[in-house]
Amino acid sequence: MTKHIFRVPVDSQHFKDTIEVGKPITELLPFLPAEEQLKKIAKDGRVRYWGSLPGESNKRTFKLLSEGDELLCYRSGKYVALATIAFSLINPALARYSWGETKNKTTWELIYFFREVTLFTADITVINKAIGYKNAPVMGFSVLSVFLGLNTWAKSSSALGPFAVELLKMFLNICAS
């Protein structure tokens, strides 16, 4: 199974509430009664998750998500977390509870839950250079189109494909230390 690496911008308060700290399982049960599924991914009784607005581009990206994929969280010129996807679902009620609504009454209902979250801080220029991206802010929920490579040499190496996610994780761990 091919893994994907996704990127998403995050704000400070909601990031803290639903990714850094997470929500207690008991708080989520009224919106998501899959208690056993939540227990499998909970750390210290807390579940970590994020959501995206249901625009056309985000819906296409959301359909690509699968268990084991990785998500890079971006804020203010820095990547701040790497999360491993456990499962995803569409849940407007949980999204409204967690993050509220936009002025147009839409909410971040394309929700992805994490089994692991690694918090770190790495300047966007360092990571973007390694994955072959221009130095520009992350403007929305997206999948990395250069998944097969860490820099130019990696993009041309067909043997690297299965190991690209692990190499990125190792690279991010080095950047975080």
Q: Is the pLDDT of residue 24 over 90?
A: yes
In tens, the pLDDT along 127-137 reads: 777 777 777 88
% of the chain with per-residue pLDDT over 70: 80
pLDDT tier at 151, thresholds 50, 70, 90: very low
Phi and psi at 134, nearest 5°, equal -70, 155
What pLDDT is stored for residue 134 in this prediction? 76
Q: How far apart, in whole angstroms, are the C-alpha atoms of residue 160 and residue 102?
A: 41
Task: List the Cα angle 85/58/126 in 5-degree steps.
Answer: 65
Q: Which domains does the chain have, with CATH numbers?
A: 5-176 (3.10.590)
In tens, the pLDDT along 90-124 reads: 999 999 999 999 999 999 999 999 999 999 888 88
pLDDT tier at 2, thresholds 50, 70, 90: low
Q: How far apart, in whole angstroms, are the C-alpha atoms of residue 48 and residue 41?
A: 8
Q: How far is CA 169 from CA 150, 151, 154, 166, in A?
A: 11, 14, 15, 5
Mean of all residue pLDDT scores within the chain: 83
Phi and psi at 104, nearest 5°, equal -90, 10
- pTM listed for this prediction: 0.82
